[in-house]
Amino acid sequence: MPRKKRQPKLTELEYNKQQMESSLKDARDHRIPEPTRFFEIGDEVRYGAWDWSGILDILDDGKIYKVFSITRNTKRNVPDYTSFKIHFMPWYDLQPEMTHEEFDAIERLTEDNDIFFQYAQRDVMALLYMSFDKMGLDFEADYQRGHVWTEKQKVDLIDSMFRNIDIGKFVIIRRPWGDNPSKPATPLLYEVLDGKQRITALLDFFCGRIKYKGKYFSEMHPFDRNHFRHYNISYAETKPLTQEQKYRYFLKLNTTGMPVDQKHLDKVRKMWLKELKK
């Protein structure tokens, strides 16, 4: 079998030219929207983590810019060195360069967050089994409403599942453990922060307390029962929270679904303000 002919090694100039051509092709492969901001040749711009970038050329009526970027690299046990690159970027990846004073003068709109909800996909039964587990799931925290959903609202939720419509996100608080490492500090380890009415509806259907289209869960076709059991939901579990954090995030999260009545929101808001003063 004849040996493959070895490709000649590219010179540095040829390699850089090939990289720029590839960068331009990649940029033009995107569906770039019409630009709403424009730059001139020689403008300083901000791009990614590069220390400095500047415009070398303008292409496609301002949709793409040829950019020169440079950065200083400092690493432990390695001498400092400078990296640079010429690349082609769509306009929306570039921002005007600003001074520190200009940057600090911009009003920041994002609220500081001391709780991070990392949502993951789980099936419905993983959530329901938490309520059956010996560690338990507390539905009756002091900031929660009673069981206010009607049977029709519960059936509507089940209907959404069988029509493959998203049924919202669920947030559970994991409470702290006690002195005994195998026993929580409270009677129940988990607490519902968001999703009480929906979890109750799921439990009522699974346990045969309500019907869907004239059938209890146990009377449904095996395919339908499996669809319910393995239906994916967005689920987040937080570390233990203070009472102030619970009240604050309950107020934040309960802006969708069945509206929480103003009287109940006012009650939780008073509880939150009381915790803030402690």
In this predicted model, which residue has the larger pLDDT, 230 or 80?
A: 230
Q: Taking Cα atoms as reference points, which of 120, 119, 125 lies closest to residue 231? A: 125
Spatial separation of the C-alpha atoms in residues 157 and 202, rounded to whole Å: 8
Assess contact for 147 and 200: CB atoms under 8 A. Answer: yes
Spatial separation of the C-alpha atoms in residues 75 and 13, rounded to whole Å: 27
Spatial separation of the C-alpha atoms in residues 127 and 129, rounded to whole Å: 6
Residue 259 has pLDDT above 60, yes or no: no
Q: Residue 113's pLDDT band (boundaries 50, 70, 90)? A: confident
User: For the chain, how long is the longest CA-to-CA vector?
Assistant: 84
Residue 101 has pLDDT above 70, yes or no: yes
Residue 66 has pLDDT above 90, yes or no: yes
Spatial separation of the C-alpha atoms in residues 123 and 129, rounded to whole Å: 10
> Model pTM greater than 0.95?
no
In this predicted model, which residue has the larger pLDDT, 141 or 94?
A: 94
196 exposed, middle or buried (CB, 10 Å; 0-12, 13-18, 19+)?
A: buried
Spatial separation of the C-alpha atoms in residues 70 and 76, rounded to whole Å: 20
Residue 143 has pLDDT above 90, yes or no: no
Counting residues of the chain whose pLDDT is more than 90, the rounded percentage is: 49
Per-residue pLDDT, 24: 92
Instruction: Extract the runs of DSSP E, i.e. beta strands, from the chain.
Output: 44-46, 52-59, 64-75, 78-90, 95-96, 120-123, 137-138, 169-174, 190-194, 232-238
Per-residue pLDDT, 260: 63
